[in-house]
Amino acid sequence: MLDERIKKLAYGLVNYSVKLQENEKILISLGGKDSLELGKEIIKEVYRVKGKPFVRINDENITNTIIKGADKELFNMMREEELEQMKKMDAYIAVRASENITNSVNISSSQMELYEKEYMEDVLNERVDNTKWVILRYPNASMAQLASMNTEEFEDFYFKVCNLDYAKMNKAMDALKELMEKTDKVHIVGPGTDLSFSIKGMGAIKCAGECNIPDGEVYTAPLKTSVNGKISYNATSTYRNTSFSDIVLEFKDGKIINATSNNTKKLNEILDTDEGARYIGEFALGVNPYITKPMNDILFDEKIAGSFHFTPGRAYQDMFNGNVSVIHWDLVCIQTEQMGGGEIYFDDVLIRKNGIFVLPELKALNPENLI
């Protein structure tokens, strides 16, 4: 018998996350065999609301083989073909079920950069800017290993996280969104961190199950040249098939002027991809009550309750601070007491201490009030 939690998830993706309407076209991207069961339920739900499903089934081993051998001309042809289809879509759902997150580790950095610039960038921008979209992982054995759980335990955790009451979270985010929209100066302190920047006039966006699953963040972007100080991230991050830890970034007038980590050389290669990679495109506060520790999967880690992420690279179009890059690297700092603590100030007023909101109007976003 099909797990009822899968049906519930498919229903939420189609009806809540992308709010698909009759006759709207949706592209469903399925990666890995474990994604197919949920994919079938999504298609059924699309038909139930009288939408029109289009499906791409991807195999990571085939994709990696193509990337390794492709030249600029082939990437451009692939981009044109997929971009043409994407422009016809009203919505997009991607379910990713990688069997091995290090499968593409033997692809050279230069080839990955070519892939990102000549193929991915335009397709990604079209999808992000012009469709209703949501992306999620699927709870397979590979993800369970990342979370240091057995598969059954991880499935229980996953569906609890992904099927939570996002409408309730959405409402609770209103006060934080309002506060961010009228804030000028942000000051963040913690172990190895003393960072200041402005978000004046940038606004804020609530993320409560409508773009990513799991979800739970409110984001904005700093004014591009306003960032000064130092940040020490305490969550491991995998980017371009390399695992990074102990990342420390120093800023002057918005630009990263010094960057170190367990792999400083590789870190700086990524930050030198283009001019925008050394500026910040996103600042967000994580609030998902069920996600309490990092598992090296950014769709989960950036939502950790008591965390924030501060993202080198491209700014989103709906929160555009002028920064353009092929890089968008969500790096996470967790400020719970167990992870060393820390404080966030908006216009010199303390709003969160050790991962817990202290202002009365924000306390609805603390974990005990969202579960």
Taking the complete model, does pTM exceed 0.95, yes or no?
Answer: no
pLDDT value of position 102: 66
Mean of per-residue pLDDT scores for the chain? 94
Segment among 45-49, 66-70, 293-297, 333-337 with least mean pLDDT: 293-297
Q: Over the chain, what HEC string results?
A: CCCHHHHHHHHHHHHHHCCCCCCCEEEEEEECHHHHHHHHHHHHHHHHCCCEEEEEEECHHHHHHHHHHCCHHHHHHHHHHHHHHHCCCCEEEEEECCCCCCCCCCCCHHHHHHHHHHHHHHHHHHHHHHCEEEEEECCCHHHHHHCCCCHHHHHHHHHHHHCCCHHHHHHHCHHHHHHHHCCCEEEEEECCEEEEEECCCCCCEEECCCCEECCCEEEECCCCCCCEEEEECCCCEEECCEEECCCEEEEECCEEEEEECCCHHHHHHHHCCCHHHHCEEEEEEECECCCCCCCCCHHHHCCECCEEEEEEECCCHHHCCCCCCCCECCCEEECCHHHCCCEEEECCEEEEECCEECCHHHHHHCHHHHC
pLDDT digit string, tens, across residues 93-113: 999 988 776 666 678 888 988
* Rounded Cα distance, 196 and 226, in Å: 8
* Rounded Cα distance, 80 and 59, in Å: 20
- As a whole number, mean pLDDT of residues 12-32 equals 96
pLDDT value of position 291: 94
C-beta separation of 309 from 284 below 8 A: yes
User: Tokens 């040249």 correspond to what residue?
Assistant: 225
pLDDT value of position 1: 42
pLDDT value of position 252: 98
C-beta separation of 190 from 341 below 8 A: yes
pLDDT value of position 101: 65
Q: Locate 161 and state its tokens.
A: 């996280």
* Rounded Cα distance, 108 and 124, in Å: 21
Q: Given the DSSP bridges, would you call strands 25-31 and 332-334 parallel, antiparallel or unpaired?
A: unpaired
Q: Locate 189 and state its tokens.
A: 């302190």
Query: Which residues are paired to 344 by β-bridges?
Result: 188, 352
What distance lies between CA 301 and its chain's CA centroid? Answer: 8
pLDDT value of position 134: 93
Smallest CA-to-CA distance from 230 within 206, 205, 210, 247 is with 247
Q: With 60 as the cut, is the pLDDT of residue 314 above it?
A: yes
Segment among 70-79, 156-165, 359-368 with least mean pLDDT: 156-165
Q: How confident is the model at residue 146 (pLDDT cuts 50, 70, 90)?
A: confident
Sign of CA dihedral 190, 187, 247, 217: positive
Query: How many CB atoms sit inside 10 A of residue 164's CB?
Result: 22
Q: Locate 334 and state its tokens.
A: 């967790």
Q: How confident is the model at residue 56 (pLDDT cuts 50, 70, 90)?
A: very high
Domain boundaries, the chain: 4-162, 166-370
Q: With 90 as the cut, is the pLDDT of residue 148 above it?
A: no
Smallest CA-to-CA distance from 42 within 70, 17, 23 is with 17
Please count the CA atoms within 13 angstroms of the CA of 88 that sit on its side-chain side.
Answer: 11
Query: Which residues are paired to 257 by β-bridges?
Result: none
**Is CATH 3.20.20.70 the right assignment for the domain spanning 4-162?**
no
pLDDT value of position 211: 80
